[in-house]
Amino acid sequence: MPGATGSGLTCYSYDLVGNVTSVKVKVSTNCTDAGATFESGLSFGYDLMSRQTSAGTLAQSTSGQPVTTIGFSYDADSNRWTMTDPQNGITNYTYDALNRLGSISNPLGQLTSFSYDTLSRRRTISYPLPPPPGSLQSTIGYDTASQLTSLAYTLGAANLLTLGYTQYDEVGNRRTITEQHGTNPVGTNTYGYDNLYRETSGTHPQPSNPPENYTYDAVGNRLTSQLPVGPSCVDAANRLFYDGTYGYTYDADGNNTLLCIPTSPPSTAPCPATWVPPGCQVGTTISQSFDNENRLIQVTLPNNTTVTYKYDGLGRRIEKNEVGTITRYIYDNENLFETFTGNNVLQQRFTRGLGVDELISFDWGMSYT
């Protein structure tokens, strides 16, 4: 948007083949002003095959984000080969002949390895911790429909946890889960569904986990459960406005802006078509604010303290400010990669697989020296 101005302005730049090279959010002047400040800024580099070789944060950010760069290299098949983090630590990746991820070794030398069955389904994961490396392993089983049938965690020769998924219905809903902790069988969890495949019941072997039961309205909104609260009520837009304890209100975009225990609850036999809490009991109100992209930017808690959030140009949360305690976030594509304090001191580093939310391990205050 060259030439446009305004505090809500987001600016993008591109290379000659159309790859995004920078994204700046809340630019102070206009997109052509090289000296403009912005709340958050991202930069990206690419090789001649348009593979991303770097991803970083820009220094002119007014949000206080740490200035970081993550680098990437690739093998001949365009698989990610290395990742160099902002602290110059290198994560290495290997692949088998079918280009399936074989191992990940993070900058601390912690090795995670993977194996697959003949249908390329992941069969085992060997984790780096605890010592000796590789002694903690998960083993995964499947049926002929590629539905999960077993998940077992072992430490050396010792069984830690075994879960069995022995029954599914005709559409793949899980009917039973068996549990074994160590060498001790715990029992079987069972689940029931209605003719629309919505869960209606659940039983569990642990006394601390009571039976579940649910009912629904004609469009699938959950009305009742085993929990000791009254029936739920929804409006014409299928938004929950009373759950038996809390009342809820929404903005025009459907964002939940307030929840509290109302001073006077609605009738639930039947529920009204619409309802707004007439007032809130003292100390029960949580209010939430959203930006024009419907992202949560502020929460005010019952004790009147606030938590605020900031986002980058890709919609990723980059900061949480909880009553003055700031945590900042750096990402590897969609995945959270590192966290920093408000003084931009490294807190955590996450080792992940190549999928989304495939967490393997995390380390506090990682140092390579």
Pairing of strands 199-203, 212-213: antiparallel
Give the amino acid at 210: P
Backbone angles phi, psi at 63, to 5 degrees: -80, -10
Give the model confidence (pLDDT) of 200-243 as tens digits: 999 999 999 999 999 999 999 998 898 877 788 999 999 999 99
Residue of 36, 45, 50 lying closest to 4 (CA atoms): 36
Q: Residue 18, Cα to own-chain centre: how many angstroms?
A: 29
Rounded Cα gap, residues 21 and 48, in angstroms: 14
Residue of 219, 227, 263 lying closest to 243 (CA atoms): 227
Q: 231: exposed, middle or buried (C-beta count within 10 Å: 0-12, 13-18, 19+)? A: middle
Residue 7, pLDDT score: 56
Residue 173, pLDDT score: 97
314 neighbors 299 (Cβ within 8 angstroms): no
57 neighbors 66 (Cβ within 8 angstroms): yes
What string of pLDDT tens digits covers the 369 residues of the chain?
Answer: 443 334 579 999 999 999 999 999 998 889 988 888 899 999 999 999 999 999 999 987 888 999 999 999 999 999 999 999 999 999 999 999 999 999 999 999 999 999 999 999 999 999 987 777 778 999 999 999 999 999 999 999 999 999 999 999 999 999 999 999 999 999 999 999 999 999 999 999 999 999 999 999 999 999 889 887 778 899 999 999 999 999 999 999 999 999 999 999 998 888 999 999 999 999 999 999 999 999 999 999 999 999 999 999 999 999 999 999 999 999 999 999 999 999 999 999 999 999 988 998 888 866 654
Task: Provide long-range contacts, Cβ within 8 A and 24+ apart, for 99-106.
Answer: 101/353, 101/354, 104/351, 104/353, 104/360, 106/349, 106/351, 106/361
Find residue 351's DSSP bridge partners.
Answer: 361
Rounded Cα gap, residues 271 and 314, in angstroms: 40
Residue of 90, 121, 119 lying closest to 106 (CA atoms): 90
Dihedral sign for Cα atoms in the order 294, 296, 302, 303 = negative
Q: Give pTM, 2 decimals.
A: 0.89
